[in-house]
Amino acid sequence: PKCSVPISRKSVSAPRSTASGRECPPEMAARCSPAAKGYENAAPIVLQGHLDMVCEKESGCQKDMEKEGLELAEENGWVYAKGTTLGGDDGIAVAMMLALLAEEGLPAPRLECIITSDEEIGMLGADAMDMSVLSGRVLLNCDSEDEGILTVSCAGGATSALTKPLRTEAATAQGWRVGVRGLTGGHSGVEINQGRANANKTLAAVLASLPVRLSAINGGSKDNAIPRASEALLTSDAPDFAARFA
């Protein structure tokens, strides 16, 4: 029989379902399978992957991605989600681990499968784990973007909060809303080297060449997603301002 391994979580959210799909306590974030016959004395192997995904959606999409499921569609053999991402970091590691746990007679040593949470926002689930519950000392991360590749190390990330003192004053010129939208976007860890346009940088470059006074600017929704849209509220005295965008 398969067994459950309790994981200490501190204050971090964790997966709520086991390999069987049944509801389980939030501290149950790992499962294991016993060694197959002939592998009883082999060292256990730890498999790890994260459950959370990059949930991006198009401007105007009203879906609450914290509570609602995806609207899937198929076109020319490709599956996609209407108005949202299909789920960047699509859970392939979790799928592979569940498949191994369900495999009867798998010729393998004891497998300890760990499903972590909150990887996308700082690897908080992995940071909260109590590693003492694991008996294995070799861990394979299954979250690679390419099939057939296992990762034995980890890439980190950093979040920066930048502040700049600003002087504000009332503006009486014509107000405008200027934006960039419809860009390709992508994952900052995978497509960052493909030269895809960043909506924030594109909009800033446009505004830098215009006679405007900025009121507000906002773009992007995820730390690890290349911004696809950005918008600014501004004023301008230029009589031909609208014509510049014709």
Known catalytic residues are 52, 119
139 near 113, Cβ under 8 Å? Answer: no
Structure tokens at 176: 């405008």
User: 187 pairs with which residues across the strands?
Assistant: 225
Residue whose structure tokens are 């950005």: 230
Cα–Cα distance list, 107 to 1, 5, 151 (Å) = 15, 21, 22
71 near 81, Cβ under 8 Å? Answer: yes
111 near 44, Cβ under 8 Å? Answer: yes
User: 214 pairs with which residues across the strands?
Assistant: 234
Q: What is the DSSP letter of 200?
A: H
The H or E element that residue 60 is part of is: none
Cα–Cα distance list, 29 to 24, 110, 138 (Å) = 9, 17, 18
Q: Is 214 exposed, middle or buried (0-12, 13-18, 19+ CB in 10 A)?
A: middle
Say if strands 111-116 and 45-50 run parallel, antiparallel, or are unpaired: parallel
Structure tokens at 113: 């499968």
Termini Cα distance of the chain = 68
